[in-house]
Structure 1
Amino acid sequence: MIKRLFLAVFPHPMLTLILVLVYVLLTNSFGINSWVMGLVLGVVVPIATHAYWPDRPRTPKPFKLLAYMILVIWDILVANVKVAFIVLFRSNANMRSHWVVVPLDLKSPEAITLLAGTITLTPGTVSADLSDTGRCLLVHALDTADPEQEAKDIKHRYERRLKEIFE
């Protein structure tokens, strides 16, 4: 009964949370008015669009997803410093730029999209293409000595965690 009521008010709880946070951040005001208006939007928009999401993916393992998001934010911060160091103190002759093919074990389109987005968000790497079969991801690395090790690092650091979350 309570679960049904909760889903009636919050049909997409993650979307509600994201809408509230985005609204508060966009208004750049952390007062009660911003939080209330964000909550109103966070409730009204998902209810109004609920009919258009019949096969929406469920939020799998939200605590593991939160831990993954914290890891990605940390990696983005560290990569920013590394890329700044490369840009400021290395010459182009010392740059070890490579294309890296990352074979994927992920099957969920949401997980593959999140992996590609994570790679692109992290400075120094860009997801360039997904194979036709969806089994390999082409990544450009700004500076890596060993492309195979870079692929292993991506699989271990990100893909393994996404597989735990989505599959």
Structure 2
Amino acid sequence: MRRLLPYPLLAAALLLLWLLLQESLSPAAFVLGTVLAVACGFVFVALRLPRSGARTLAMRFAPGRLMALAALLRDVAVEVLRSNNAVARIILQLPGARSGRSGFVVIPLDMRDPYGLAVLACILTATPGTVWVDYNAARGTMLLHVLDMIDEEQWVRIVKDKWERQLMNLFE
């Protein structure tokens, strides 16, 4: 059964979502939704997503880690607001803005968990002024583009101390 339908719960959820979005239970909507849901399951197989069962998820979000997750979300929200202000000042050339020299920084990462790396990529790309450009798994390094280049060492410390450490507590 797993060969025909590799992710049955995902396929069922996608079919249900498709039918809700179509606002129809017609045979055509059902057939097209089923084809799309099954095809998405095979796309996920091709992506080779790491397996994560209910036990793994329960361990990741144990009550002790929920406070760490809340602190991380708070820090991300504060950083996004702060960065929005800083980027707006640079773009509009307002008083008190830095020079706005941009550049690339290579940051060595200790984290190897794919979910943790994905969350780190989301945090960095959601924060205005930074964009995750490349990840070299063999060397464990990330290439980051920064709009406001202070100095490379400071950016390495920011990513490692502020984000990577918190994410490693959650994901590893």
Q: Please confirm whether the aligned pair reaches a TM-score higher than 0.5, indicating the same fold.
A: yes
Superposition pairs of residues 24-103 of structure 1, within 5 angstroms: 55-56=52-53, 57-58=56-57, 59-60=60-61, 61-89=65-93, 94-103=99-108
In the alignment, which of 103, 111, 119 is matched to residue 114 of structure 1? Answer: 119
Aligned length: 115
What is the CA–CA distance in structure 1 between the aligned matches of 2:72 and 2:117, rounded to whole Å? 14
Seen in structure 2, the aligned counterparts of structure 1 residues 65 and 134 have a Cα distance that, compared at 3 Å, is farther
Percent of aligned pairs sharing the same letter: 35
Pairwise CA RMSD = 2.3
Name the CA distance, whole Å, in 2 between partners of 1:109 and 1:99.
23
Distance 1:165 1:152 in 2: 19
Stretches (4+) displaced over 3 A: none
> What's the TM-score once normalised by structure 1's chain length?
0.62
Distance in 2, matches of 1:140 and 1:125, equals 6
1:157–1:88 distance in 2 versus 1, CA, 3 Å: same
Structure 2 equivalent of residue 154 of structure 1 = 159
Looking at CA atoms only, which structure, 1 or 2, has the larger radius of gyration? 2
Residue identity matched to 1:116: A
> Any gaps of 5 or more consecutive residues in structure 2?
1-44
1:82 to 1:55, Cα distance in 2 relative to 1, 3 A: same
